[in-house]
Amino acid sequence: MRAIGRLVRRMGLLVQRGRFRSELEEEMRFHREEMEREIEAGGVNGAEARRAARRRFGNETRVRERSQEVVGFQFETVAQDLRFAVRQLRRNKGFTVTAVVTLALGICASVAIFAIVDAALIRPLPYREPSRLVSLYEAISVGPQFHISWPDYLDWKRMNKSFDALDIYATRSYMEKTPQGVQMVDGVDVSDGLFKTLGVTPALGRDFRTGEDLASAPRTVILSYGAWQKRYGGRKDVLGQTVTLNGELNTIIGVLPREFHFVPAEPAEFWATIHDTRSERGSHNFLGVARMKKGVGLEQAAADMKTVTAQLERQYPDTNRGRGSTVLSLTEVIRGDVRPVLVMLLCGAALLLLIACVNVVSLLLTRAENRRREIAVRGALGASRVRLMRQFVTEGLLLVATGSVVGATLAAVALRAAEDLVPADMLARMPYLAGMRMSGHVLLFTAGIVVLAGIVFGIAPVLRMPESVSNESLNDGGRTAAGTGWKRFGSKLVVVELATAVVLLVSAGLLGKSFYRLLHVETGMRAEHLATAMISLPRAQYAKDDQIQLLTKNLLERVERLPGVASAGIVSDLPVGSGDGMTAVQVVGNPELHKNDEIVARFASPGYFSALGARLREGRYFTEEDEMTKLPVVVINQTMARWYFASGQAIGQQIKAWDKPPARVIGVIDDIREGPLELEVRPAFYLPSSAGPDPGFGLVVRTELEEELLPALSAAIHELDPGIAVYAESTMSGKIHDSPSATIHRGSAWLVGGFAATALLLGVVGLYGVIAYSVSQRTREIGVRMALGAGRGRVMKMVMREAGWLTVMGIAAGLACSVVAATMMRGLLFGVSAWDGSTLIAVAVVLGGAALAASAIPARRAASVDPMEALRAE
């Protein structure tokens, strides 16, 4: 009760601050005047009386202050402390700038990385109740995530008991006819209810209606927001317009919301309904997405789907034997890939922030030590211990506040810049990155780390405040003991700093090495001087195999006549791609061997291998004759030879794939990386392209020109037929360099490298600070030592030993932590073990060398102390 009364009265005073002050003033003036009168009455004259009264009254300001302290919330004194702190920091510009820049760097890195984490992992996905959405696949012996067939989809939809809705989609490349020629555009074929299942309503126009995915329905298409902006300038009258995709007229009926993305199918500009890709039960083209009923969990849904697929296995043993299903959370599917990288980056940023804080705290503490005399003086003049402490805390908080504002601003600027820096194709694959900004989450996070840093900065100086403010502190005698105390604490901090720097350096080293290994992974070809492109023939004109074969023959001849071209070849799918396009094969005479393992299948022209620079191990490549005679032959890679045949026995064996006649193995080549760089090479076989002509294929050209050739290449092909789409033109080196895995490795290596460089700098500066401070405090001791005959070399050695000890402890602790950290990020490494000795040694050497250099400066200064001067100065 009383406390409440007190609070109410205090609040009253707070709002009437001005009145309180003027009343107090008046009251005190009255008091002083009465006092003057009293003294005057005692026979003292006016001026004298006034002086006497004032003397007795004491320091008026002080009285006023203390009265205000009693009633106020100490705002006044806080403001005072703040003013004083600003003065202090301004007087010491070097210190202030160092501290603020260090903190700002740490905070900027953390905030910027967190903004990415927020965009990619935290912000809810742009669907209604995303936690109820699951991704569906068929599970077969090779792996759990394979495509679903159209009839299976219909049965799943009908038979399941766990889902409110179930839909499917398939990514497509459409050939779009434009006035400029034929272009390839990315799109998705979906079943009619996909957007309803996701809970997404078009921003403009309408969603697909039920039945719009029937073959008889008129063709309609929904645009992505990006496509609407880019192709139609965001005009509203786009609805009802038509677009020609794969030679078919499609009516635009809607535009998706700006924030919509569906990572499993991105990049996609056109969303059409499934019309012609549906097929029989044995043909698997689709991936599924479903919304679980309220209260149904993942396990329950998976168990339900197991019942469904088991029943289908019994019902259709020919096509469905061994085909189960996989149910994964859609959120997990979308975010699972990037989570480890981002978590690692966030940890890196957090370590950098830690090292920055430690650095500034130790700077602050050094200063606190240097200000012992000032504190003692102020204490002697009447400042209370609490008040002095508050002064230090205020200074610390002021630094944190300034550092945070600068850091957060830098982060905001960096994020703005990152929007333009993120490569377009990366953005297409990770559309959520467009959401990187200072969102509410990010601001909250920023506030969190600022408060945390504030607490650290508030507490540290208090812990180290001199225990008693006594007269002893006033003379220099008190310094030695305090100096020792600080040294012990400060050196602990510097060990933490160095250890953190080691962890970051090792991580950066491992990531950099992974990236290098990835780029220099054995690809099985000569990647330099190789131009590539994807070609797509309009299906209407090239419906027959003969037409395709004639065109490819002409195309290769035309390309090989181009200046600068040495040779050219075509293949059904380019190396360093997705690695899809697999089938199971049987060895004639041993049909059970790896019967259910799907391996990579490619169709290649006779010139393909030599153009690519593949290496033949045994036998020979295809020849024109093989194409002419149509004798079934096959070239296999080494892994396949190892899997299926005894060493050296592959040539002459026969294998059978699909319903084609058995083909005789005529050659074994070194493994070519067909899939992503970081994946293990699978067995692969190459059939002559005449064995499976397809209107879509890749072109490889061996040339001295590389990049300059690309436009000419496209022009030459269009000369043959302007209706042919040429796309994804790139050099092979570019393809390797910009492959998704290389991009992720490069990005994380650069970022962590940046963190590590900063950490190295901060750690070494921290060490320098500690040693320099120690030397300055020991000047007298050093003087005495030298006066007693210690040589300069010996003094230098003494200082270096101190620094060396700290460095060794820091590096040792850091290396131990690094191995743990590296083990945790093992999944992100490629071709490097967490125990990579050379990286660990290199980091130890780099940090040790830098630390040595940093401590050599104060050590030299110590050695150049003039003993006479040092002793006199004290």
Partner 1 sequence: MTKRAELLPGTLDMLILRTLERGPLHGYGIALSIRRISEDVLTVEEGSLYPALQRSLLEGWVKAEWGKTETNRRARFYTLTPEGHRQLGVEMSEFEQMIAAIGRVLAGSQAG
Residue 54: CB minimum distance to partner 1, A: 11
Runs of H (alpha helix) within 439-522: 440-464, 479-519
Kindly tell me which of 64 and 860 has the beta carbon lying closer to partner 1: 64
Whether the bond between 632 and the residue before it is cis, its omega within 30 degrees of 0, is no
Determine which residue in the list 17, 21, 52, 57 makes contact with partner 1, applying CB under 8 A: 57
CB 510 to partner 1: min, Å: 59
User: 116 near 436, Cβ under 8 Å?
Assistant: yes
CA-nearest of 391, 361, 397, 360 to 374 is 391
Give the C-alpha distances (Å, rounded to integers) separating 600 from 282, 350, 597. 19, 43, 10
Q: 772 and 486 in contact (C-beta within 8 Å)? A: no
Looking at 44, 52, 71, 346, which residue binds partner 1 (CB under 8 A)?
71
Q: How near is the Cβ of 78 to partner 1 at its closest, in Å?
A: 18
Residues 6+ apart with CB under 8 A from 570: 535, 552, 555, 556, 604, 605, 608, 689, 697, 698, 699, 700
**Which range touches partner 1 (CB under 8 A), out of 61-69, 126-134, 503-511, 708-716?**
61-69
x/- mask, partner 1, residues 353-382, rule CB under 8 A, reads -----------------------------x
Query: Token digits for 203?
Result: 């921003």
58 scored as a contact of partner 1 (CB under 8 A): yes
| Long-range contacts of residues 409-413, Cβ cutoff 8 Å, at least 24 apart | 410/104, 410/108, 411/107, 411/108, 411/111, 411/112, 411/115, 411/438, 411/446, 412/438
Map residue 24 onto helix, strand or coil.
helix
Secondary structure (H, E, C), 235-257: CHHHCCCEEEECCEEEEEEEECC
How many residues are there in the chain? 874
Given 14, 16, 19, 34, the residue binding partner 1 (CB under 8 A): 34
* Sites for partner 1 among residues 751-790 (CB under 8 A): none
CB of 52 to partner 1, least distance (A): 13
Tokens at 224, concatenated: 């992505």
- Out of 51, 66, 236, 339, name the contact with partner 1 by CB under 8 A: 66
Interaction between residue 51 and partner 1 (CB under 8 A):
no
52: number of Cβ within 10 Å: 17
Structure tokens at 283: 């043909």
- Closer residue to partner 1 in complex, CB, 27/528: 27
Binding string to partner 1 for residues 427 to 466, with x set by CB under 8 A, is what? ----------------------------------------
- Closer CB to partner 1, 251 or 470, in the complex: 470
Residue labelled with tokens 């490619």? 602
Stretch that binds partner 1, among 26-34, 113-121, 271-279, 628-636 (CB under 8 A): 26-34
d(CA 40, CA 53): 10
Q: Is 869 in the site for partner 1 (CB under 8 A)?
A: no
Contact (CB, 8 A) for 769 and 363:
yes
**Counting contacts by CB under 8 A, is residue 580 touching partner 1?**
no
Residue 10 in contact with partner 1, rule: CB under 8 A: yes
Whole-number minimum distance, CB 2 to partner 1, in Å?
7
Nearer to partner 1, 67 or 319 (CB): 67
Residue of 16, 22, 59, 833 interacting with partner 1 (CB under 8 A): 59
Report in angstroms how near the CB of residue 4 gets to partner 1 at its nearest: 11
* Binding-site member from 14, 46, 51, 56 for partner 1 (CB under 8 A): 56
Which CB, 9 or 630, lies closer to partner 1?
9
Cα separation, 288 vs 303, whole angstroms: 17
Residue 870 neighbours by CB distance under 10 Å? 19
HSE (side-chain half, CA atoms, 13 Å) at 139: 14
**Contact range with partner 1 by CB under 8 A, out of 56-64, 237-245, 782-790, 838-846:** 56-64
* Residue 719 within binding range of partner 1, rule CB under 8 A: no
C-alpha span between 221 and 103 (Å, rounded): 51
* 5 sits near partner 1 (criterion: CB under 8 A): yes
Choose the stretch contacting partner 1; rule: CB under 8 A; options: 2-10, 187-195, 197-205, 633-641: 2-10
Find the binder of partner 1 among 52, 67, 300, 809 (CB under 8 A): 67
When asked if residue 283 is in the footprint of partner 1 (CB under 8 A), the reply is no
Q: Read off the tokens for 801.
A: 């030993």
At which residue do the structure tokens 């009293």 appear? 38
Q: Judged by CB, which is closer to partner 1: 69, or 580?
A: 69
Q: Does 19 bind partner 1 (CB under 8 A)?
A: no
- Give dist(CA 176, CA 250) in Å, integer: 11
Give the range of 3-11, 103-111, 336-344, 660-668 binding partner 1 by CB under 8 A: 3-11
Distance between CA 165 and CA 243 in Å, rounded?
30
Binding of partner 1 by 823 (CB under 8 A): no
Q: Are 269 and 223 in contact (CB under 8 A)?
A: yes
The alpha helices in 16-74, defined as continuous H runs, are: 17-41, 46-57, 60-71
Nearer to partner 1, 27 or 707 (CB): 27
Is residue 288 within 8 Å of residue 156, measured between CB atoms?
Answer: yes
Count other Cβ atoms within 10 Å, centred on residue 478: 17
Q: Tell me which DSSP letter residue 826 carries.
A: G
Candidates 50-58, 311-319, 507-515, 853-861 — which segment interacts with partner 1 by CB under 8 A?
A: 50-58
Least distance between partner 1 and beta carbon 67 (Å): 5
Other CB atoms within 10 Å distance of the CB of residue 740 = 16
Q: Note whether 384 binds partner 1 by CB under 8 A.
A: yes
Largest CA distance in the chain: 138
Q: Between 27 and 522, whose beta carbon lies closer to partner 1? A: 27
Interface with partner 1 by CB under 8 A: which range of 64-72, 282-290, 296-304, 536-544? 64-72
Residue 25 or 624: the one with the smaller Cβ distance to partner 1 is: 25
Decide whether 66 or 520 has the Cβ nearer to partner 1: 66
**Residue from 14, 19, 27, 874 that binds partner 1 (CB under 8 A)?**
27
CB of 70: closest distance to partner 1 in angstroms? 4
62 is a contact residue toward partner 1 (CB under 8 A): yes
User: Are the CB atoms for 94 and 396 separated by under 8 Å?
Assistant: no
Q: Under 8 Å CB-to-CB from 871, ≥6 apart: which residues?
A: 780, 783, 784, 787
Residue 595 engages partner 1 in binding (rule: CB under 8 A): no
Stretch that binds partner 1, among 68-76, 441-449, 692-700, 761-769 (CB under 8 A): 68-76
Instruction: Tell me how far, at minimum, the Cβ of 6 lies from partner 1, in Å.
Output: 5
Tokens representing 418 are 């990152």
Question: What minimum distance in Å lies between the beta carbon of 76 and partner 1?
Answer: 13
Q: Of 33-41, 103-111, 445-453, 522-530, which segment contacts partner 1 by CB under 8 A?
A: 33-41
Binding-residue total with partner 1 (CB under 8 A):
29
CA pair distance 457, 463, nearest whole angstrom = 10
Q: According to the binding rule CB under 8 A, does residue 31 interact with partner 1?
A: yes
Query: What CA–CA distance (Å, rounded) separates 460 from 463?
Result: 5
Roughly how many angstroms between the first and final C-alpha of the chain, as a whole number? 60
Q: Does 69 bind partner 1 (CB under 8 A)?
A: yes
User: Please, which residue, 26 or 332, has the CB nearer to partner 1?
Assistant: 26
- Does residue 760 contact residue 842 with C-beta atoms inside 8 Å? no
The nearer residue to partner 1, 71 or 121, going by C-beta atoms, is 71
What residues line the site for partner 1 (CB under 8 A)?
Answer: 2, 5-6, 9-10, 23-24, 26-28, 30-31, 34-35, 38, 56-59, 62-64, 66-67, 69-71, 382, 384
